[in-house]
Structures are given as C-alpha cells and as structure tokens.
Amino acid sequence: MADGVSGVNSVSREVVEKIAASAAREVPGVVELGGDVSRFMNKMLDAVGLDEVGDATRGTHAQVKGAAVDITVVIVVEAGKVVGEVAKAVQLAVTEAVSGYGLTVTGVNVKVDDIAMPSSPAPSL
C-alpha cells in the first residue's frame, strides 16, 4: 500500500441492513418494514417496553461479499399507492444510500408483504 498500512477492512451485514432499512423507511408509500411475523414480534416487544429492539434492521437482509452487497427489503405499502412504483423507489433509495458508503450494490430485491388498509373510525354511540 502507498501509505505503508496493511490490513483488511470489512463492513458487517448488520451495518448494510441498517443503512438499507433507514433508506426504505423514507420512501413515500412505505408504511412498515418486515413480514407478518417480524411485525408481530415487534409489537410484542413494544408492549413490554423494548421499543427499540430489532427495529434498526427489521425487514432487511443483506449478503456481503467484500465490497459487494445484495439486499432484500420486505415492505408494507400504503393502500392506494402503486405497488410497482413504491417498490422501484425503494430499490433506488436503498441503492443510493448503500452506494454512498462506498459499497457496490449488486441487487436490491423488494418483497411487498402487505398493504396497510386505512383504519375506519370507531362508530360513535
């Protein structure tokens, strides 16, 4: 190396998943991340006061090979939004965010697990 320093630098899977989850949450039309089971478990953790456990990477999975990463994001889309447009926006946002950290994104797979239907107001008596 030019500066006389040797060694290996690596980025963990969890770091990539945090970056991807953060980017996906910012996309308009994305209501939540994660599949049914992970969202259920998150609600249980919230109920017992463990609000932050698992939130940072929920709904994301990354495979890291050196500086190349392949990412899967599981999302819940807001009712009334065009699913394909939201999924494409997630792909672009995640790719941009992860690439900004100097990693090469080889793929972003988006799985739409659910549609968040608007809740109807409780009838008044």
In a domain, 103, yes or no: yes
In a domain, 33, yes or no: yes
Show the beta-strand stretches assigned E in 79-103: none
- The Cα 109–Cα 84 span in angstroms is 12
* Confidence check: pLDDT of 41 > 80: no
- Kindly state the average pLDDT of the residues 45-70: 76
Evaluate whether residue 3 is within a structural domain.
Answer: no
In a domain, 2, yes or no: no
Please state, in angstroms and rounded to a whole number, the distance separating the CA atoms of residues 90 and 109.
9
Number of domains in the chain: 1
The band of 37, judged by pLDDT with boundaries at 50, 70 and 90, is low
Residue 60 lies in a domain: yes
Q: What's the rounded mean pLDDT across residues 29-49?
A: 67
Confidence of residue 39 (pLDDT cuts 50, 70, 90): low
pLDDT at residue 40 in the model: 52
Specify if 104 maps to a domain: yes
Domain that holds residue 60: 13-116
pTM of the predicted model as reported, rounded to 2 decimal places:
0.79
Confidence (pLDDT) at 59: 87
Asked if 48 and 39 touch (Cβ cutoff 8 Å), the reply is no
- 76 within domain boundaries: yes
The string of pLDDT tens digits covering residues 19-30 is 999 999 999 999
Q: What is the CATH number of the domain that holds 18?
A: 3.30.70.1350
Residue 123 belongs to some domain of the structure:
no
